[in-house]
Amino acid sequence: MIATLGDLLLDVIVVLEGHLVPGDDSPAVTRVAAGGQAANVAAWVTASGGEARFIGKRGADAAGELVLRELEALGVEVRGPQAGRTGVVVSIAAGGERTMASDRGSAPELSPAELEPSWFDCDVLHISGYSLHREPLASAAAGAAELARGNGARVAVDLSTWSSIDDAFRSRVRAIRPDLVFAGEREREAFGTLDASWIVKRGARGVVVDGVEHPAAATDVVDPTGAGDAFAAGYLVGGVELGLAAAARCCARMGAMP
């Protein structure tokens, strides 16, 4: 069982035929679906043949019900309180690159007191780095890591975004003492040293695992949104090759979910 801690959000995915034109229309294909890094990883765990449990606070609104049904339909066990509003992430993809605008809603309001120890009976706990930027969720993530370790689980952290890495974030990651760290190249450079197994995601150039390079699997890129999450899920289930295959599958379709 792989448990993930973080956000379950509503993804609005926009794939442009060209580029945004200021003050005018830009042809695009759009899709609305469940998202959030922790939810994406959980979904790709089940798609890669593993068992997954998502843990987090989700909105008590129509969007919250929509994303809950979608994640459960993918075979993911969902745990955590329901309150407030569902966050929304707008992902814009163009020319093989993507950018995101994020509103996390109630997700960062998960507190340590709301955690149930039974949720962390797992083999691996994957913590989204977004969970470590705001309280009380950051403290909940630290508590979750201790509960998981008490059950003999390994703890993985994805650094998630290079632009938000600061001293407070570094301290929170180091306090968790992760066994595995997933990061993009800019995130790896921004973070600095940490005694852990590093898995560096390099997009079309594949990944570097503990200093060993692995090329990406061949694919026709439709939308790169969520490819790093798909890789992390496949890696946790079955290693590098399964992770690269999951990332290739993700890139070949629209959206971050399988």
> Rounded to the nearest 5°, which phi and psi values hold at 245?
-65, -40
State both tokens at 46: 């089940």
Domains observed in the chain: 2-251 (3.40.1190.20)
Buried-exposed string 172-181: b where 16+ CB fall within 10 A, e elsewhere: bbeebebbbb
Counting beta carbons within 10 angstroms of the beta carbon of residue 73, is it exposed (0 to 12), middle (13 to 18) or buried (19 or more)? exposed
User: Residue 26: is its pLDDT beyond 90?
Assistant: no
The radius of gyration of the chain from alpha carbons, rounded to an integer in Å, stands at: 17
| Mean pLDDT within 92-109 | 84
* Average confidence score pLDDT of the chain: 93
| Mean pLDDT within 70-77 | 97
pLDDT digits (tens, 9 = 90+) for 157-194: 999 889 999 999 999 999 999 999 999 999 999 999 99
What is the pLDDT, as a whole number, of residue 234?
Answer: 98
User: Residue 253: is its pLDDT beyond 80?
Assistant: yes
Residue 96 confidence class, pLDDT cut points 50, 70, 90: low
Residue 17 confidence class, pLDDT cut points 50, 70, 90: confident
Q: How far apart are CA 192 and CA 255, in angstroms?
A: 31
Q: How far apart are CA 171 and CA 152, in angstroms?
A: 23
